[in-house]
Structure 1
């Protein structure tokens, strides 16, 4: 060592050793943190910073040639490190591209039967709030991608997915296929029906309803297009927490038939975990969230006639409104003042009004004007839009997805007899032997709208907690597996304590207890849950449609067959036999897409089976996985119970189409997909499901003509707000207008109803529309054959409303004698909100 080197060593490494050590450390660290280049980039910057300090501290005079040479060596290694990062596929700092989208799928708000309760008398006649399709896309920058769509609809439909994929392939080629796209329904029982292709699901809607089908297909396509165009570098976080008061078991007697040892593993007879994904754009910050939690969409009853997203649709609105206010700084991220729910921010600029008399005089000057023609775009243009969103930033998208909700009711107060007020029979859910007297009660009983709000709010508040605390980042591959399986004759190997047996599933069939309905929506006649014998009279009626074979009866045992749907083929298939199953992987999140309603225990067994397969390998890649079940996804095949629950033959068991071994079949086939996912192997696609669109029959009459009384315009007020009236929070303001059938124009991404605020004494500003929870649009007519109809707006003034002058406005579209469509609008007399 030279005198110069010795004099400058001072107990530290010589710079030559430092440069070589940095080279080794750089390569070692790269191997350890490869795949997490954000950390590596930070390491490089830190090394460069420390080295510059070292040079300044150790070598204040840089006139020695060796010093410059060694400094250059270190800089070479740091430059090599940075070039290595630039070559990386994720040099942007994000492992994923993330995009979200949302679009209106509300559908016809008149004449169409609601899907879910199978109640022929439940016909749509207005809107509680609108339905939407929400989607996320997660993509590796140069690799796989997956799409998940959540529908404010009762369930997914096979024909809907077939046509959506056809459109996506025409637009994007093979980028989006049936394999990597999942379409799931929240299971609201308050959405228009008629969009499924199998006969048994469209009987009550008088066959296929093209308007219902078209708006859902269009909405899914458009929300996926939005998500695709919004793809940007971003991160994803996952969180999970317990929610106890949003669901109860509606078939506890069936649950108790599961093995005692298995039941002891769980604290509750329903699943209480909510799993949430938080999507964060690298530039804009949080842009959305999707969560999965099991509870039925039956807060709205079987007699409701207003289109509604039920509790999950409400929760999604609350979450999106909350974030918009939070993003603008109008609400705290955790605390909700006075328990008031958030709402979408209108274009109102709040102003202080002290003089009530002055407001009344101002309101009096705006009397109800005559109805008048408008353009088709007026309804869309008048919708409430935020004036405060950052330019270029996309709307926050939040979805509350369905899971294994098969035996979970949101009516948490329990089931009671409407004649006596006593609890219903435990085993059969009857009152004096009659199922139609047994109804469950929501937390807002007897107000179904309040029950919807409360259960939606409970899910929303838990989601906010999880969203704010989410810190586990999703990391790892994006992947997927998909297969079509014929469940009508599937061989299933069942192993029990070393003994294996091969059994088979059956063609689809529905049991007698299916007709009994549930405590959420009872059936009719003398059917009851827990019936494993049947009734001679109803068997005779059944045989007039299709007599089940002895083989089918034995296969479905102990289910007494009421409808042998799997063997009924006229005029076309009554029930599906070929079903899609699918696994989506996003890092440590696994989504199991199932085409039906798994009960609580059935879902637990499926998750456990898939987890056992994924964690069987020794590379620890799946040790920290989160597995969620996405129920009612890609198509619909009713219920899936455990073998033991099936023996009890309550509603869920009677609706388990493919016999007692249905769950075992799902577990067997999902384990195959999981194994293929682990080893990177393809799977057999299986037989394709039929496309029955051209065979569909529709018996729903078209709109023939809309008319008003002589001398009356469409949009004229027929029941006005009282003149010189003043209202406050909690009051309901009502006005009715001469209107037309809402099937003439669905007002997609528009509105039939509007609350307007008077700004600066001469400008009416949109404040609330028919997508707000507080504003209801009701449509009525004197009789089914009448051409005259009315539209009624009901505004329940929310807490925190801006004081001032308001009015109610209605938009519609009337069909003329020769089929032409004319749009119109009308407004009420102005009133004061103090």
Structure 2
């Protein structure tokens, strides 16, 4: 089953704003207003490092399927880091690291901060560094510290842990060493065909007045941040969009960044190809005054015979070790070498970050029974009463690799559109805010009929019977069902042998029947 989705709100609904990380990072990076800033008022630095980890004999993180053991690589995983700093020596700075992993973890974060402190002192710390995962379910597990997260990996896996910590640290080091003056722009738009609600019946339990506030039953908004170096031009971007990393199923055994990891690869390759073509077109244009090739005299340089003298001068400038130039560098040679200098430009880094993905599935064709091919039961996602037979289908069904490519490509194409059209420049001071929140003891004020309000409290964590049923992206086992608000006697007996929940906890969690108490 898909065991570890993000935390849900008290009622499951789409958000019109971005997720906690998303909102926080926009606040963290740049506080708009507060005086004008020049394009060079910020230092920006980007970095990227491999975090693929052990590719065999390690349980994968996400579906909690003990049989899902890695046996190879679909494509490699990366940590991508972005630093924004004020240009003054004592100015604020923030770091955002996006991982091709299911999630970060407290123990990973603690170890990363230990290393950063040893290297940079207090420059980077828990206050100004955010680490987030794309929620792929196809990465190595065993790197978290809590039992429930590592039970299917049969404990802590040091290799998984070390490669993620190393990759985060080295991506931040790269970004720090690449800090250069630059500007930042933001853009946003709707992407309609890369995510659907995998629990539409649960969404319909929200009051009609609540649902009427939103255009869709999931968040369809993509928000993109574009980074531009003052000298080199665009050097990277990251965006937030809500869709689960579950295009690859619970039976997949190849390490993969799923659809968001694929989208990042697509965008980085797109920019590299775009730059390569444009860079060499500029060379041809400098030599001939045109980028066209009117005659097939040479596939490299047009108008070869008309520029023979100048090209001979150019050829004489190339050295053969230990020889020396025969003549002074001509103006054409200077232009060529100036263009070729572009190979020294900063590496283009693009991250596709996770937003409020809750019940947002990339399996956009819907959920069907694998035995009959008919749609699953609408309310409980079962097939003849069994949840194990109900699976969501991606756009490339039955090929999940194709589904991964398609959903990744849809995000990539939208990101390119937003990237090319990003014109709203962010200005202002850099700030950040970090806090710890005890979600087991929060007071929440809710509206009641007649304009009244009521203050209620949250409870300590507990997993319900419906949780064990998983989702249509990754069904659970046995006879659990989604939407179960009663439970059954056998599993209650098993639960009580482990830990029987107290009366206060049962009342607080009602109407959810508790399967596993905190």
Q: TM-score range by the shorter chain?
A: 0.7 to 0.9
Match for residue 444 of structure 1? 396
| Deviation for aligned residue 1:139 | 1.1
Match for residue 106 of structure 1? 52
| Deviation for aligned residue 1:487 | 2.2
For the pair 1:519 / 2:472, whether they are aligned, the reply is yes
C-alpha offsets along residues 703-738 of structure 1, whole Å, 9 cap, x if unaligned?
Answer: xxxxxxxxxxxxxxxxxxxxxxxxxxxxxxxxxxxx
Equivalent-residue separation in structure 1 for 2:144 and 2:271 (angstroms): 34
Q: Does the 8 Å CA contact 2:37/2:427 hold for their aligned counterparts?
A: no
Equivalent-residue separation in structure 1 for 2:44 and 2:180 (angstroms): 5
Q: Does the 8 Å CA contact 1:234/1:279 hold for their aligned counterparts?
A: yes
| Deviation for aligned residue 1:409 | 0.4
Q: Does the 8 Å CA contact 1:154/1:185 hold for their aligned counterparts?
A: yes
C-alpha offsets along residues 755-778 of structure 1, whole Å, 9 cap, x if unaligned?
Answer: xxxxxxxxxxxxxxxxxxxxxxxx
For the pair 1:324 / 2:272, whether they are aligned, the reply is yes
Out of 363, 383, 386, which is 1:411 matched to?
363
C-alpha offsets along residues 443-501 of structure 1, whole Å, 9 cap, x if unaligned?
Answer: 00000100000000000000001101111101112111111122223334445576443
Match for residue 268 of structure 1? 216
Q: SS at 2:107's partner residue?
A: helix
Q: SS at 1:486's partner residue?
A: coil
Q: SS at 1:463's partner residue?
A: helix
Equivalent-residue separation in structure 2 for 1:444 and 1:419 (angstroms): 19
1:511–1:389 CA distance, 2 compared to 1 (3 A) = farther
Equivalent-residue separation in structure 2 for 1:209 and 1:181 (angstroms): 25
For the pair 1:132 / 2:84, whether they are aligned, the reply is no
C-alpha offsets along residues 23-80 of structure 1, whole Å, 9 cap, x if unaligned?
Answer: xxxxxxxxxx994365xxxxxxxxxxxxxxxxxxxxxxxxxxxxxxxxxxxxxxxxxx
| Deviation for aligned residue 1:177 | 1.2
Out of 462, 476, 487, which is 1:509 matched to?
462
Q: Does the 8 Å CA contact 2:37/2:428 hold for their aligned counterparts?
A: no
Count of residue pairs brought into register by the alignment:
429
Out of 206, 214, 234, which is 1:258 matched to?
206
Match for residue 63 of structure 2? 117
Q: Does the 8 Å CA contact 1:194/1:201 hold for their aligned counterparts?
A: yes
Match for residue 500 of structure 2? 547
Equivalent-residue separation in structure 1 for 2:272 and 2:343 (angstroms): 14
Equivalent-residue separation in structure 1 for 2:263 and 2:351 (angstroms): 8
Q: Does the 8 Å CA contact 1:325/1:331 hold for their aligned counterparts?
A: no
Match for residue 376 of structure 2? 424
| Deviation for aligned residue 1:533 | 0.4
Q: SS at 1:415's partner residue?
A: strand
Match for residue 533 of structure 1? 486
C-alpha offsets along residues 641-685 of structure 1, whole Å, 9 cap, x if unaligned?
Answer: xxxxxxxxxxxxxxxxxxxxxxxxxxxxxxxxxxxxxxxxxxxxx
Match for residue 317 of structure 2? none
Q: Does the 8 Å CA contact 2:188/2:222 hold for their aligned counterparts?
A: yes
Task: Give the RMSD, CA atoms, in angstroms.
Answer: 2.2
Match for residue 289 of structure 1? 237
| Deviation for aligned residue 1:544 | 1.5
Unaligned runs of 5+ in 2: 1-32, 281-298, 301-339
| Deviation for aligned residue 1:502 | 3.2
Equivalent-residue separation in structure 2 for 1:124 and 1:290 (angstroms): 28
Match for residue 36 of structure 1? 36
Equivalent-residue separation in structure 1 for 2:249 and 2:52 (angstroms): 19
C-alpha offsets along residues 77-108 of structure 1, whole Å, 9 cap, x if unaligned?
Answer: xxxxxxxxxxxxxxxx5121111110000000
Out of 117, 122, 131, which is 1:183 matched to?
131
C-alpha offsets along residues 338-379 of structure 1, whole Å, 9 cap, x if unaligned?
Answer: xxxxxxxxxxxxx99xxxxxxxxxxxxxxxxxxxxxxxxxxx
Equivalent-residue separation in structure 2 for 1:270 and 1:389 (angstroms): 46
Match for residue 488 of structure 1? 440
Q: SS at 1:484's partner residue?
A: coil
Give TM-score scaled by structure 1 length: 0.50
1:263–1:493 CA distance, 2 compared to 1 (3 A) = closer
1:782-793 superposed matches below 5 A: none
| Deviation for aligned residue 1:262 | 2.2
Equivalent-residue separation in structure 1 for 2:497 and 2:249 (angstroms): 32
Equivalent-residue separation in structure 2 for 1:288 and 1:512 (angstroms): 44
1:331–1:270 CA distance, 2 compared to 1 (3 A) = farther
Q: SS at 1:563's partner residue?
A: strand
| Deviation for aligned residue 1:259 | 1.8
| Deviation for aligned residue 1:540 | 0.8
For the pair 1:151 / 2:106, whether they are aligned, the reply is no
Q: SS at 1:390's partner residue?
A: helix
Moved over 6 A (4+): none
C-alpha offsets along residues 373-425 of structure 1, whole Å, 9 cap, x if unaligned?
Answer: xxxxxxxxxxxxxxx78243121000000000010000000000111111000
Equivalent-residue separation in structure 2 for 1:534 and 1:299 (angstroms): 30
For the pair 1:233 / 2:181, whether they are aligned, the reply is yes
Match for residue 513 of structure 2? 560
Q: Does the 8 Å CA contact 2:34/2:429 hold for their aligned counterparts?
A: no
1:230–1:503 CA distance, 2 compared to 1 (3 A) = same
Q: SS at 1:562's partner residue?
A: strand
Equivalent-residue separation in structure 2 for 1:309 and 1:398 (angstroms): 14
Match for residue 169 of structure 2? 221
Q: Does the 8 Å CA contact 1:249/1:407 hold for their aligned counterparts?
A: yes
Equivalent-residue separation in structure 1 for 2:37 and 2:367 (angstroms): 56
Q: Does the 8 Å CA contact 1:328/1:389 hold for their aligned counterparts?
A: no
Q: Does the 8 Å CA contact 2:60/2:70 hold for their aligned counterparts?
A: yes
C-alpha offsets along residues 195-240 of structure 1, whole Å, 9 cap, x if unaligned?
Answer: 1111101000001111101110110011011111111110001010
Out of 94, 99, 102, which is 2:40 matched to?
94
Equivalent-residue separation in structure 1 for 2:341 and 2:216 (angstroms): 43
1:487–1:34 CA distance, 2 compared to 1 (3 A) = closer
Match for residue 470 of structure 1? 422
